[in-house]
Amino acid sequence: MTHARAERAALCDLFDQLGPDAPTLCAGWTTYDLVAHLVLRERRLDANPGIALKPLAGYTASVQDGLKARHSFAELVRTAREPGGLYGLLPRLDEAVNTMEYLVHHEDVRRAQPSWEPRELPEDLDDYLWKRLNGMARLMLRKSPVGVVLHRLGGGVAIGGAKDGAKVEVTGMAAELLLFCFGRQAHARVDLSGDEGSIGRLMHASLGV
């Protein structure tokens, strides 16, 4: 089983365990909203642009609400268990695109629940996440008002954010750094080093792709 399929299965198992009304780290979304988003993303390509483009977000939201109106939570979870669209036809594309997508959303659900703790990920998955993050750091940190130096525990450095001025050093495992750079700063288990003001500005910055 690929890492993308493993994260997908684990997230859907957690959906089934928690039900439709559990909180997530996605602002304003319950687990019902999140699974509808995942189904939309793979099976309603007409609504995909609004995920990233604000002028089209209204249409995307209406399609997502329509999925919830027409399908029960359990039905959407069953649909989400199998890759849809091109991801179902091209396993390599599923692995390349959905490993990070499903890992992040898996943690969005896990870390919104009480008493969560970080998972110990397989070494090859940690290496894969770092490789992808290393290539995407500048993009993900482009809105940071301060410079950022990412230090991966076990080796590896990536930089991003503002080119001039103060810098904040962020240290952690690859998955924790990935979550931090995806805008989950408050829920990533990382160590921060820098002046207090710069750390505060980074913690409240809008990060991600």
81 and 151, same domain (yes or no): no
Over residues 77-108, the pLDDT tens digits come to: 999 999 988 888 888 999 999 999 999 999 99
Token duo for residue 185: 């700063």
Over residues 182-200, the pLDDT tens digits come to: 999 999 999 999 999 999 9
Within a domain: residue 47?
A: yes
User: What does each C-alpha distance from 208 to 52, 90, 178, 187 come to in angstroms?
Assistant: 11, 26, 9, 14
pLDDT of residue 17: 97
Within a domain: residue 16?
A: yes
Give me the residues paired with residue 167 across strands: 147
Residue with tokens 């495992």: 173
Over residues 131-183, the pLDDT tens digits come to: 999 999 999 999 999 999 999 998 999 999 998 889 999 999 999 999 999 99
Within a domain: residue 179?
A: yes
User: What does each C-alpha distance from 5 to 20, 78, 181 come to in angstroms?
Assistant: 22, 14, 23
61 and 155, same domain (yes or no): no
Within a domain: residue 181?
A: yes
142 and 194, same domain (yes or no): yes
pTM above 0.85, yes or no: yes
Task: Among 110, 141, 173, give the residue marking a domain's end.
Answer: 110
134 and 101, same domain (yes or no): no
141 and 185, same domain (yes or no): yes
157 and 102, same domain (yes or no): no
Domain count, the chain: 2
Within a domain: residue 12?
A: yes
Give the single-character DSSP code of 182. Answer: T
Within a domain: residue 209?
A: no
Task: Among 47, 76, 110, give the residue marking a domain's end.
Answer: 110
- pLDDT tier for residue 122 given thresholds of 50, 70 and 90: very high
43 and 100, same domain (yes or no): yes
pLDDT of residue 85: 86
128 and 79, same domain (yes or no): no
Exposed, middle or buried by CB within 10 Å (0-12, 13-18, 19+), for 140? buried
Domain that holds residue 188: 124-203
